[in-house]
């Protein structure tokens, strides 16, 4: 298992495809100020979360910890997320009552074990491990997220559909780190996490 470090300082994130005049806005949230019994609930209820979360049971588990730093340029968002293991699901019932249905998420696991797609809304019958995963917020999904540090790219549906008319077919598509292109994407996301805080919006766009 790869070691995943708790961030010691606010991690930095990517703003991409920025308009020349766009400003990068940043926001950090973590659960450390909450009582241990309320940390998962606080993580579940953080602004922008679109998944229902539960914690895999373990008699030896430590108090839950998770953090997110979100950078936004216009309608685009890049987040750097650390989380202890969780079971994550976006159910049909959640989708039907959720206004956040007009985006795609692309997640890149830069540290830690791969995610495993499993459960009643898994896109395949057998568990599938992935380092890179595409999610359509208008479709259900189930997955087990191991302890990880992950970069996520939030892209408006209109932008994705202007590039790919059948963009909804991307939902659940995944890559492990066994191909050169996947390893390149993982390394690029990890390096951007370290450098993006010193970039202007135009530099982030070029990155």
Structural domain boundaries, residue 137: 25-198
Q: Please report whether residue 194 resides in a domain.
A: yes
pLDDT in tens, 22-80: 567 788 999 999 999 999 999 999 988 889 999 876 655 678 999 999 888 778 888 99
Q: What confidence tier does 13 reach under pLDDT thresholds 50, 70, 90?
A: very low
Judge whether 115 and 46 are in contact, CB under 8 Å: no
Whether the pLDDT of residue 20 is over 60: the answer is no
Q: Please report whether residue 2 resides in a domain.
A: no
pLDDT recorded at residue 16:
40
pLDDT recorded at residue 118:
61
Q: Please report whether residue 12 resides in a domain.
A: no
Judge whether 196 and 205 are in contact, CB under 8 Å: no
Q: Please report whether residue 65 resides in a domain.
A: yes
Whether the pLDDT of residue 169 is over 70: the answer is yes
Q: What confidence tier does 200 reach under pLDDT thresholds 50, 70, 90?
A: low
* Structural domain count, the chain: 1
Q: Please report whether residue 15 resides in a domain.
A: no
Whether the pLDDT of residue 17 is over 70: the answer is no
Q: Smallest Cα–Cα separation from 18: which of 184, 199, 160?
A: 199
Q: Please report whether residue 100 resides in a domain.
A: yes
SS (H, E, C) the chain: CCCCCCCCCCCCCCCCCCCCCCCCEEEEEECCCCCHHHHHHHHHCCCCCCCEEECCCCCCCCCCCEEEEEEEECCEEEEEEEECCEEEEECHHHHHCCCCCCEEEEEEEEEECCEEECCCCCCCCCCEEECEEEEECCCCEEEEECCEEEEEEEEEHHHHHHHCCCHHHHCCCEECCCCHHHHHHHHHHHHHHHHHHHCCHHHHHHC
Judge whether 140 and 92 are in contact, CB under 8 Å: yes
Q: Give me the CATH number covering residue 185.
A: 2.60.120.10
pLDDT recorded at residue 43:
96
pLDDT in tens, 90-143: 999 999 988 888 999 999 988 887 677 665 555 555 656 778 889 999 999 888
Per the model's pLDDT, the better-predicted residue between 20 and 23 turns out to be 23
CA gap 127, 184 in Å, rounded: 24
Q: What confidence tier does 158 reach under pLDDT thresholds 50, 70, 90?
A: very high
| Mean pLDDT, range 171-181, rounded to an integer | 84
Q: Smallest Cα–Cα separation from 82: which of 190, 202, 191?
A: 190
Q: Please report whether residue 10 resides in a domain.
A: no
Judge whether 46 and 39 are in contact, CB under 8 Å: no
Q: Please report whether residue 7 resides in a domain.
A: no
pLDDT recorded at residue 44:
93
CA gap 2, 5 in Å, rounded: 10
């Amino acid at each position: 298992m790869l070691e995943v470090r708790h961030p010691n300082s606010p991690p930095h994130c990517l703003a991409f495809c920025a308009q020349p005049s766009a400003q990068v806005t940043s926001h950090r949230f973590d659960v450390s100020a909450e009582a241990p019994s309320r940390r998962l609930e606080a993580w579940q209820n953080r602004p922008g979360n679109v998944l229902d979360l539960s914690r895999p049971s373990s008699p030896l588990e430590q108090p839950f910890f998770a953090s997110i730093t979100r950078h936004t340029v216009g309608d685009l968002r890049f987040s750097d997320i650390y989380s202890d293991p969780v079971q994550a699901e976006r159910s049909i019932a959640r989708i039907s009552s959720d206004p956040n249905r007009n985006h795609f998420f692309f997640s890149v696991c830069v540290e830690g074990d791969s995610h495993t797609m499993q459960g009643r809304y898994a896109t395949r019958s057998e568990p599938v491990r992935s380092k890179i995963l595409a999610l359509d917020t208008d479709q259900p999904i189930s997955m087990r997220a191991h302890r990880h540090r992950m970069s996520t790219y939030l892209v408006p549906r209109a932008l994705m559909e202007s590039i790919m008319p059948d963009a909804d077919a991307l939902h659940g598509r995944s890559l492990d780190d066994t191909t050169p292109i996947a390893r390149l994407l993982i390394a690029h996301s990890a390096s951007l996490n370290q450098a993006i805080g010193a970039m202007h919006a135009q530099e982030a766009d070029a990155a």
